[in-house]
Amino acid sequence: MAQSPLQIKLHSVIFGTGTKAGKRFDVALIYAIVLSVLAMMLESIGAIERAYGPWLYGVEWAFTAIFTVEYLLRIYCSPNPWRYIRSFYGLVDLLAILPSYLGLFVADMNYLLMIRLLRVLRIFRVLKLVRYLSEANILMRAMMMSRRKILVFFSSVLVLATIFGSLMFVVEGPEHGFTSIPKSIYWTIVTITTVGYGDITPQTSLGQLIAAAAMLTGYSIIAVPTGILTAELTTEMQRERSLRRCSECSSAGHDSDALYCKQCGSTLTD
Amino acid sequence: MAQSPLQIKLHSVIFGTGTKAGKRFDVALIYAIVLSVLAMMLESIGAIERAYGPWLYGVEWAFTAIFTVEYLLRIYCSPNPWRYIRSFYGLVDLLAILPSYLGLFVADMNYLLMIRLLRVLRIFRVLKLVRYLSEANILMRAMMMSRRKILVFFSSVLVLATIFGSLMFVVEGPEHGFTSIPKSIYWTIVTITTVGYGDITPQTSLGQLIAAAAMLTGYSIIAVPTGILTAELTTEMQRERSLRRCSECSSAGHDSDALYCKQCGSTLTD
Amino acid sequence: MAQSPLQIKLHSVIFGTGTKAGKRFDVALIYAIVLSVLAMMLESIGAIERAYGPWLYGVEWAFTAIFTVEYLLRIYCSPNPWRYIRSFYGLVDLLAILPSYLGLFVADMNYLLMIRLLRVLRIFRVLKLVRYLSEANILMRAMMMSRRKILVFFSSVLVLATIFGSLMFVVEGPEHGFTSIPKSIYWTIVTITTVGYGDITPQTSLGQLIAAAAMLTGYSIIAVPTGILTAELTTEMQRERSLRRCSECSSAGHDSDALYCKQCGSTLTD
Amino acid sequence: MAQSPLQIKLHSVIFGTGTKAGKRFDVALIYAIVLSVLAMMLESIGAIERAYGPWLYGVEWAFTAIFTVEYLLRIYCSPNPWRYIRSFYGLVDLLAILPSYLGLFVADMNYLLMIRLLRVLRIFRVLKLVRYLSEANILMRAMMMSRRKILVFFSSVLVLATIFGSLMFVVEGPEHGFTSIPKSIYWTIVTITTVGYGDITPQTSLGQLIAAAAMLTGYSIIAVPTGILTAELTTEMQRERSLRRCSECSSAGHDSDALYCKQCGSTLTD
């Protein structure tokens, strides 16, 4: 289906970031998102809600109306509406207005509007011109490359937490707050991650010994994801640097400001 | 002792992962393990136990029966039964059924069945085809290479915890919760690992000063295992990456900028 | 405006660190700062304040007088007084005396005098002769180079904290201590940073599940700033170490195994 | 002063680790230290002390007698007694017996005997034959090389803690547990190091905002010592590797298993 000039014009404003109008639209959108999130935060505070409830309610619906119109316009001017609707941003855009309407029927649903904040991630699109995205890309690539190692790590942590949790359930028992295995696993995760609320604590000597072991384990294994990511990141950053090859001797690892090959002395071309 | 065809067939299904049947068996086993663990978790929750206790009891015994049969079959079809029984997985397989039978005589023993979860580690065998195991191998090797440094680190932490613990026992004393030196050591580990439950806290000024010193110590020395593992991991990954092989003597591990084989001195081609 | 000999002499003593008198002045100043800070600390302790209140009050005003004279002298002998007043240290010097005078009208203001401690940072200027500043410089440069990555990281943490916080507000609600979204965000930051006071804790099963997810997230993402800084620092330190200079064009930064200058192509001699 | 044969013999047993007798002596000593420490731990537990108090008291004095004899023998057989007495181990050896005698006059002094544990550090001397000490050496050297950076880091943390602490004292005040500036600094260190006991927590909104800022600061700056140590350790480990130089082309960076220079192909001699 061919697009009308209006659709093309709208598309460049709403989806584009290259033109001045497109950039302004995105900046305005981000302000609107942050304002609507702030309104909801204020609404959640009892004292403020009692004093200005109706006003904040009005603000919330005004933003919902604006975002609904924006969502419909996005569908209208998209060359492939269905693909937009199913995309990540399409889903976030829908979720950013849905709870308002559901809130008419179910109480407290409107607080889920905080998901609107995810839309702020578009900010990185606006900032594309500066180098933020390339930084995020290195981070992303390092994470993607270490995702298998991190998966292995996380499954080990969960298996560990389950076994420690069951052990503590048997040793401490319901009378010391370890009322069930899921709750004991919750306690183990609180302990291994070194959060340590202190709402449940071991009371028996054996329990405290096992807890100390869990703590030292958690304290040590935090080194694992850090080590993985750092090693990956160092390699990634060094690779960025070493992507230049000499056309004469095809040696790599030249600095980005090198003019001559450091192995054979011939001129570097790119 | 020669094996019968039945034994050979069974062995390839139960122990093997190369054939389709072998892989299916392992996947089914993992489902069974996870289900039996979930059943036990539910059983540990008071409300659910009161409502569905007999059902969950039945499920537990059904899985125990299945795992007992599987254990016997493994012994039967193993070419060297005794070696299997004494192997790591053989012991885990036994421990995964034993608490059920012991639970008939001693209360609460059945929760130790959570050790069944360790059997899930077999999952890495099933996933052998993808690269998870090789990732785990790099992690393993890096840990093995830094095990001496980590041992030195851990003994220092324990000595430190004991000395800080005794100091706090003398300074704070039983009236502030530091009832004995072992309990003070437990407190020190809670503090040094930055878990910080808050079930025991220093009350005197001197105690708080020592506690602050212990915290800063703990906060700093977490850098040590991280640094060790990261350095080891970086080296390991760079070696892995640089697995250039010499076409003459097929030795590996040449740096990416090496011109000659470091083992036989012939020119490196790629 | 030309400076009088007195101004030049004073300037070399007060601002300089090269002469003996200048160094002595700075050391005396640091002692005065630390003493005045200690006096204020003592004053904040109820029992001591009741016993020695007037004395400490006198000490505080004595130091305020000294620092006021010093501030005026600095303005007087500075070749460009306005630039000094607006500089970082100029503002700190002003803030270090202002609260005393404001404290005459508003209660408790005088404790803000603790900002005097910032003046101790001058100590690095005195220690310039040793290599402390160059160390701080490497740290600074590594941080500057990773500031974009760290900004991306911090905005992600804040967005994450807001979403987790809203979710917990809906799930747990005011009756379990999550009285508003800002307070829930406070709780989320307490949890993600693994501080874990335990003043607010999730009570429902769903809340504990979400809390466990938040903890594991926080436990993992601490790897990100560490990884970024370490990778940057390693690169920075290796560059520093490899400051080989070409004897022809005096360009620096050649790798330790480079044979030819990468800038002019001539052979490297050392 | 020439040493008698007895002194020489004793010296090789007590101070040496090369002979069989010397090694056995050290191992026996470590057992004695660990046992005496365990006895003291048991003594600190109320119930055990009431039941076996006199026995444990006897054990403590027996070990004190043994260690006193050992200390006197060390002085006797040392070629330079005075240097031994003032050495680190000499002081530890003295401190390991002193509290017993002081405990005759002052109560609770005997718990300071836990300092005996420091004597266990001698274990590294016994294990000298394996590579533990060389591992500890790399760690030590990396720490020594980064000591200036770590000093800069620690002073910044302390200044930061003092300023945050004073701020919280003004904002929260004594009625919320922040009774004095030293106590507020204690709270800040508990927070920045992510320990988070929860014995003192901010109650006002402004206090919680400042606390959240302190947490995020603490969460981020833990990256600094880790980054410093890791970078230093990586460099140190790579330097270990690159200490081999080719005698022909004097290029460095050869692996420890390299036989030929990777730059010029000639044989590596050492």
- Transcribe chain C into DSSP letters: -PPPHHHHHHHHHHT--SSHHHHHHHHHHHHHHHHHHHHHHHHHSHHHHHHHHHHHHHHHHHHHHHHHHHHHHHHHH-SSHHHHHHSHHHHHHHHTTHHHHHTTTSTTGGGGGGGGGGGGGGHHHHGGGTTHHHHHHHHHHHHHHTHHHHHHHHHHHHHHHHHHHHHHHHHH-GGGT--SHHHHHHHHHHHHTT----SS---SHHHHHHHHHHHHHHHHHTHHHHHHHHHHHHHHHHHHHT-B--TTT----B-TT--B-TTT-PBP--
Helix (H, G, I), strand (E, B) or coil at B73: helix
Q: A163 near B118, Cβ under 8 Å?
A: yes
Which pLDDT does position B266 carry in this prediction? Answer: 66
pLDDT at C144 over 60: yes
Q: What is the pLDDT of residues B200-215, one digit of tens each?
A: 889 888 899 999 988 8
Q: Which amino acid would we find at residue C252?
A: A
HSE toward the beta carbon, residue B145, CA cutoff 13 A: 16
List chain A pLDDT tens, one digit each, 270 residues: 567 888 888 887 777 767 788 778 877 887 888 888 888 788 778 788 788 878 888 888 888 888 888 888 888 888 888 888 887 777 777 877 777 777 777 666 666 666 666 655 555 444 443 444 555 666 677 667 767 667 777 777 887 888 888 888 888 888 888 888 888 889 999 998 888 888 888 988 889 999 998 888 887 777 777 777 787 777 766 665 555 556 666 555 555 445 666 666 666 654
pLDDT at A127: 46
Measure in Å the smallest separation between the Cα of D60 and chain A Cα atoms.
Answer: 24
User: Is residue B254 helix, strand or coil?
Assistant: strand
Check CB contact of C45 with chain D, cutoff 8 Å.
yes
pLDDT at A58: 85
In the predicted structure, residue B96 carries a pLDDT above the cut 70: yes
B223 and B98 in one domain? Answer: no
- C147 reaches D (C-beta below 8 A): no
Burial class (CB in 10 A: 0-12, 13-18, 19+), C198: buried
pLDDT at B255 (0 to 100): 52
Q: Tell whether the model's pLDDT for residue D132 goes beyond 80.
A: no
Supply the pLDDT for residue C76: 86
pLDDT confidence of residue B44: 78
C40 and chain D: CB distance < 8 Å anywhere? yes
Q: Which pLDDT belongs to residue D250? A: 59
pLDDT of res. C242 = 55
**C260 in contact with A at a CB cutoff of 8 Å?**
yes
> Is A258 within 8 Å of C260 when comparing Cβ atoms?
no
At residue A255, the pLDDT reads 53
Check residue A265 and give its pLDDT. Answer: 63
Q: What mean pLDDT value characterizes chain C?
A: 75
Task: State yes or no: pLDDT of C22 exceeds 50.
Answer: yes
Lowest mean pLDDT among A163-177, C233-247, D139-153: C233-247
Does residue B114 carry a pLDDT above 70? no
Question: In D, which residues are within 8 Å of B222 by CB distance?
Answer: 222, 226
A63-67, B1-5, C200-204: least confident range: B1-5
Identity of the residue numbered D247:
S
- D122 and D143 share a domain? no
- Within this chain, do residues C36 and C126 fall inside the same structural domain, yes or no? yes
Q: Is the pLDDT of residue B245 over 60?
A: no
Q: C230: domain range? A: 133-270
pLDDT at D121: 54
Whether D119 and D13 map to the same domain: the answer is: yes
Task: Suggest the residue from D114, D140, D164 to mutate for an interface test with chain B (most B CBs closer than 10 A).
Answer: D114
- Mean pLDDT is highest, among B18-27, B36-45, B192-201, C5-14, for B192-201
- Smallest Cβ–Cβ distance between D198 and the set C124, C186, C197 belongs to C197
Q: Do C41 and D182 touch (CB under 8 A)?
A: yes
**Same domain assignment for residues B57 and B142:** no
State the nearest Cα–Cα gap between A261 and chain D, in angstroms: 15
CA-wise closest residue to D181 among C51, C99, C39: C39
Same domain, A181 and A123: no
Cα–Cα distance for residue pair A102/A109, rounded to 1 Å: 7
Q: How many CB atoms lie within 10 A of CB A154?
A: 13
* Last-in-domain residue among C87, C104, C132: C132
More confident residue, D210 or C268: D210
In this structure, the answer to whether residues D9 and D20 fall within a common structural domain is yes
pLDDT at D29 over 50: yes
Is a pLDDT exceeding 80 seen at residue B248? no
Residue with the bigger pLDDT between D121 and A200: it is A200
What pLDDT does C48 receive? 82
pLDDT tens track for D192-219: 888 888 888 898 888 999 999 888 888 7
From C117, C132, C147, the end of a domain falls on C132
- Give A219 to chain B, closest Cα distance, Å: 6
Least reliable range by pLDDT among A245-254, C27-36, D76-85: A245-254
Query: Considering only A200-214, B129-143, B207-221, C225-239, which range has the smallest mean pLDDT?
Result: B129-143
CB contact under 8 A, B226 and A222: yes
Residues 156-195 of C with CB under 8 A from A: 159, 162-163, 165-167, 169-170, 174, 179-182, 191, 194-195
- CB of D97 closer than 8 Å to CB of D110: no
Task: Check which CATH number belongs to the domain holding D174 and give it.
Answer: 1.10.287.70
Res B174 pLDDT > 70:
yes
Going by C-alpha positions, the residue among B175, D187, D166, B114 that lies closest to residue A158 is: B114
Burial of C20 (0-12, 13-18, 19+ CB in 10 A): exposed
Kindly state whether residues A183 and A80 are assigned to the same domain: no
Task: For residue D226, list chain A residues with Cβ-Cβ distance below 8 A.
Answer: 226
Do B128 and B174 fall into the same domain? no
Q: What is the pLDDT of residue B130?
A: 40
**Which residues are bridge partners to C267 per DSSP?**
C260
Six token digits for residue D1: 């002063």
Q: Measured between CB atoms, which of D198, D226, D230 is closest to A198?
A: D198
Please tell me if residue A230 touches chain D, with a CB cutoff of 8 Å. Answer: yes
Domains held by chain A: number: 2
Residue found by looking up tokens 């809600």 in the block: A49
Q: In this complex, do C253 and A257 lie within 8 Å of one another by their Cβ atoms?
A: yes
Rounded distance, CA D158 to CA D141, Å? 25
Residues B88 and B147 in one domain: no
- H/E element, B93: helix B88-95
| CA closest to A41 among chain C residues | C181
Interchain proximity A41–C182, CB inside 8 Å = yes
Measured between beta carbons, which residues in chain A are less than 8 angstroms from residue B182? 205
Rounded-to-integer distance, Cα D84 and Cα D73, Å: 12
Average pLDDT of chain B to the nearest whole number = 75
Q: What percent of chain C has pLDDT over 70?
A: 70
Sort out which chain B residues have CB atoms less than 8 A from D267's CB and list them.
265
Domain of residue A94, CATH code: 1.20.120.350
Is residue D42 a contact partner of residue D56, using CB atoms and an 8 Å limit? yes
- Same domain for C75 and C188, yes or no, is no
**Cα four-point dihedral sign B142, B147, B150, B152:** negative
| Residue in C218, C189, C217 with CA at minimum distance from that of residue D216 | C189
Which residue, among B185, B260, B264, B268, would best test binding to D if mutated, counting the most D CBs under 10 Å from its CB? B260
Q: Check residue D242 and give its pLDDT.
A: 55
The reply to whether B230 touches chain C by the CB within 8 Å rule is: yes
Answer with the one of B103, B132, B161 that is the final residue of a domain.
B132
3-state secondary structure of A267: strand
pTM for the full predicted model: 0.78
What average pLDDT does range C183-204 have in this prediction? 88
Amino acid at D182: P
Both D64 and D86 in a single domain? yes
Q: State whether C227 and A120 contact (CB < 8 Å).
A: no
pLDDT at D187: 92
Token duo for residue A92? 């976030």
Instruction: Give residue-wise pLDDT tens across range D226-235.
Output: 777 787 777 7
Per-residue pLDDT at A128 = 41
Considering only CA atoms, give the Rg of chain A. 27
Please tell me the distance in Å from A35's CA to the nearest CA on chain C: 14
